[in-house]
Amino acid sequence: MPMIEVDHLTKYFGPIPAVVDVSLNIPLYKEMRTEAYLRFVAEVKGVPARERQREVGRRRITK
């Protein structure tokens, strides 16, 4: 299964550490494509249906 792997990530914004030594593995599921995931997250966060459709469609990537 494809995964996103991050080992010991540290990110600064200027002199301020925002993330320090983070490691994680995230499996990528073929069943849920990017557009479906964005719709799902927007729905969970309570974004109104019309706004969800507009914003997800606006961010669609074409090949």
**Predicted local distance difference test score (pLDDT) of residue 62:** 57
Which pLDDT tens digit goes with each residue over 16-42?
Answer: 999 999 999 887 777 878 888 888 889
Mean pLDDT of 35-53: 90
d(CA 56, CA 59): 5
Name the domain count of the chain.
1
Residue 63 lies in a domain: no
Task: Show the domain range for 16.
Answer: 3-58
Residue 15 lies in a domain: yes
